[in-house]
Chains A and B, each alone.
Chain A
């Protein structure tokens, strides 16, 4: 890769800054808009941030589980959708990552085999670009329209862009790994797939894990938002409470999501620490 000089970097930064300001003016961004509308509702919403509800803000039928328990259940559902999607994404990402990385080319110097592999490499890179160029929520809307509400379509909607992103990141991590060991193992008769799994992947494993955890965090947030389309994740309850202006409840669910993400962060940190030892 060609390294950008500091002069080039300065120009890139300057261009981005000018583009940002220009876009802001084009969109007529006006800070005053924030206080237009209904300031009292905004104030009430923000005030509830320091006093989230511990109980329902309205009458509920007897037998309804307590609010906190409901939040925990919704959080669990959120985790389930995200975990299922991540499971698919990691498997898909690792496989597509191989096809989109230079390890596919290991040891092919000659003839048709090389041309075929170059074609597979190019097609895979196109595919993963397509997968990640459409947001998971857009996939969810499309699947909702096509298949109706189903748990599988929600998981697949979450998994498609996530697989594309993981495949891209994995392939780049693999490409940046020093080639000495992989060439040596290939020269001793190892196949490209063996070299990928047993020589290159172990060397990038700490980075792959760290990035997978980060994507799991993203999947959790998207899984929560899927609730707005009717899936039983945190978003479903946030939307319902918000419509009724039960801001205390909204904050309870938001803090649950925050706790969930923080928990994943602590967990991933521990695992990464363990890997380094």
Chain B
């Protein structure tokens, strides 16, 4: 457990977009320093759930609290402070392609700085800032890319820049939305291991949404499975029974009603097994 804080509490949260229910009365508590995998198919509501945690999406009903403070009752400044404590690694990485790696990492800390201060950090970073960025890039394994243009890096390296940016923000909570959906399996495993290690060593709360059940089982002590905007199970990974894994499989059976059962199991075995 970390002394930094980072408790996340989601209470009866529903999100409705144009009469489509993306989240349906979801409740979830994540303790400070915990590592949780959020699994489920596309459209299960994982992204929406993560987006409500830093108020990128506001819940239609229910409450989100960070360390006991309700997001919806915060004023603009309190909300900004709360957001600064949540690092977010997005599926599309959300980097500025034509800036250098150091600048993309420094952007993670804009919330802490004034307009002039942030301009100085970006254009003429101090030795201290450069060293901090270098250290963070070292922890994600690409220190030599510090002055490279971001769009010249490979997908895997850009992924690491996105993680470095989230870490440079100095968060208590790290959320990652399908961070490895577009990289090869070996790279995916390395990236998840990296995030897991960094969060463990810094005492950060980590919540990662994943398609890949195998990765979730290998790296996360707790797994939350979602379907159709609801949580279908939330329990320690090592107590996960085969019938519960079946439930995850059966999720897919529902959405792929037409192919024969054997074909579905083959296909899903590759994906989740």
Contact = CB atoms under 8 A, between A and B. Distances in A.
A60 interface: no
Nearest to A199: B96
Contacts of A187: 54-56, 83, 86, 88
Interface string B154-192: 000000000000100100000000000000000000000
Interface residues of A, number: 22
Interface in B58-90: 58, 76, 80-81, 83-84, 86-88, 90
A181 B169 contact: no
A275 to B, nearest CB: 8
B92 A188 contact: no
In this complex, the member of A193, A198, A203 whose beta carbon has the largest number of chain B beta carbons within 10 angstroms is: A198
Interface in A63-85: none
A271 to B, nearest CB: 15
A198 B92 CA distance: 19
Contact of B111 (A190, A193, A197, A206): A190
Contact of A198 (B76, B84, B118): B118
A205 B90 CA distance: 24
A188 B98 contact: no
Given A180-B92, A190-B110, A202-B96, A113 B118 contact: no
A188 B99 contact: no
Contacts of A190: 107, 110-111
A198 B110 contact: yes
Contacts of B86: 187-188
A198 B119 contact: yes
A197 B169 CA distance: 19
A109 interface: yes
A109 B87 CA distance: 21
A180 B84 CA distance: 17
Contacts of A205: 98
Contact of A185 (B58, B93, B107): B107
A191 interface: yes
A24 interface: no
Interface in A170-201: 180-181, 183-185, 187-191, 193-195, 197-199
A188 B118 contact: no
Contact of B118 (A194, A203, A206): A194
Interface residues of B, number: 32
Contacts of A194: 110, 115, 118
A273 to B, nearest CB: 14
B90 A180 contact: yes
A202 B98 contact: yes
Given A109-B58, A194-B115, A194-B118, A185 B88 contact: no
B112 interface: yes
A188 B76 CA distance: 13
A245 B111 CA distance: 65
B108 interface: yes
A109 B60 CA distance: 13
Given A188-B84, A202-B99, A193 B115 contact: yes
Contact of A183 (B56, B95, B111): B56
Contacts of B56: 183, 187
Contacts of A203: 96-98
Contacts of B55: 187
A116 to B, nearest CB: 13
Given A109-B58, A180-B90, A183-B56, A188 B111 contact: yes
Interface in B98-136: 98-99, 107-108, 110-112, 115, 118-119, 122
Contacts of A189: 80-81, 83-84, 110-112, 169
A110 to B, nearest CB: 8
Nearest to B169: A188
In this complex, the member of A184, A185, A191, A197 whose beta carbon has the largest number of chain B beta carbons within 10 angstroms is: A184
Nearest to A110: B58
A113 to B, nearest CB: 7
A202 B90 CA distance: 20
A78 to B, nearest CB: 32
Interface string A198-227: 110011011000000000000000000000
Contacts of A191: 110-111, 115
Nearest to B92: A180
Interface in A4-23: none
Which 10 pairs, one residue from A and one from B, show the smallest C-beta to C-beta distance? A189-B111, A184-B94, A189-B84, A190-B110, A180-B94, A181-B94, A194-B110, A189-B83, A180-B92, A187-B56
16 contacts: A185-B94, A185-B107, A187-B55, A187-B56, A187-B86, A188-B54, A188-B83, A188-B88, A188-B169, A189-B110, A190-B111, A191-B110, A194-B115, A198-B119, A203-B98, A205-B98
Given A189-B81, A189-B111, 7 more contacts: A180-B93, A181-B96, A185-B94, A187-B54, A187-B83, A188-B84, A191-B110
